[in-house]
Chain A
Amino acid sequence: SYELTQPPSVSVSPGQTASITCSGDKLGDKYACWYQQKPGQSPVLVIYEDSKRPSGIPERFSGSNSGNTATLTISGTQAMDEADYYCQAWDSSTPGFGGGTKLTVL
């Protein structure tokens, strides 16, 4: 299966910018998407097709993808953004997920 690598944890101060990376072989040639998961809840799509936001997702969430790395950026991070974030991409008809990054807002 397609392997995607994320840092286990990222910390950010309220109001600052958080960046979460996702690395995979030639990931830039594929579409990456991102999910947010809060404790006890199901995952929620926050970015699809590298940089598009679903309806209802705040503008502070953005994404990019180039080379071997996709990046989720949260500008003006709020306490409510504290959660686990997972990247995902398709390869050979099967999807792979990154291991997840715990974002701490402190």
Chain B
Amino acid sequence: EVQLVESGGGLVKPGGSLRLSCAASGFTFSSYRMNWVRQAPGKGLEWVSSISSTSSYIYYADSVKGRFTISRDNAKNSLYLQMNSLRAEDTAVYYCARDLGGTSWFDHWGQGTLVTVSS
């Protein structure tokens, strides 16, 4: 069974940092592109970042570029998101999701982890 389990969320002050993790199991992690998608309270889905299966291609939404860093460890079946210089508008549930690359679809999502940026 495919499983994606996020962790690392919590309450952080504006300007602070947080590192999210996504533990994958039940599939060949190294064969999939991985993504972070967030959802602010009561709002829609917003793509945050993608990383290709071998980490060769990395993309960020303009809203997080220069502040967030995506990475992965295929040996540990894990995806990460380092979030620096956090702002109130970064408050959201952060989901990890997998896809096969190209123009494919997000076929499995984690349960999400809540990040709250507040003083």
**Inside 8 A of B44's CB, which chain A residues have their CB?**
84, 86, 97-100
- Give chain B nearest CB distance to A71 CB in angstroms: 17
Q: Is B110 part of the contact surface with A, judged by Cβ < 8 Å?
A: yes
Residues 33 to 78 of chain A near chain B (Cβ within 8 Å): 33, 35, 37, 42-45, 48-49, 54
Main secondary structure of the interface of A (DSSP, over half): strand
Whether the Cβ atoms of A1 and B62 lie closer than 8 Å is yes
Residues 1 to 59 of chain A near chain B (Cβ within 8 Å): 1, 30-31, 33, 35, 37, 42-45, 48-49, 54
Size class of the B contact interface (CB-based, 8 Å): 20 to 34
**Inside 8 A of B97's CB, which chain A residues have their CB?**
43
Docked CA distance A90–B102 (Å) = 8
- Give chain B nearest CB distance to A24 CB in angstroms: 13
Contact with A along B35-47 (1 / 0, CB 8 A): 1010000001111
Size class of the A contact interface (CB-based, 8 Å): 20 to 34
**Inside 8 A of A37's CB, which chain B residues have their CB?**
45
Which of A30, A31, A44, A94 has a CB less than 8 Å from the CB of B59?
A: A94
Which of B46, B61, B109 has a CB less than 8 Å from the CB of A42?
A: B109
Whether the Cβ atoms of A43 and B95 lie closer than 8 Å is yes
**Inside 8 A of A1's CB, which chain B residues have their CB?**
47, 61-62
Known contacts A94-B47, A97-B45, A100-B44; A45 and B107 CB within 8 A of each other: yes
Task: Name 13 A/B residue pairs within 8 A (Cβ), A-sorted.
Answer: A1-B61, A30-B103, A31-B105, A37-B45, A42-B95, A42-B109, A42-B111, A43-B45, A43-B95, A45-B105, A95-B35, A97-B37, A100-B44
Query: Residues of A with Cβ closer than 8 Å to B?
Result: 1, 30-31, 33, 35, 37, 42-45, 48-49, 54, 84, 86, 88-90, 93-100
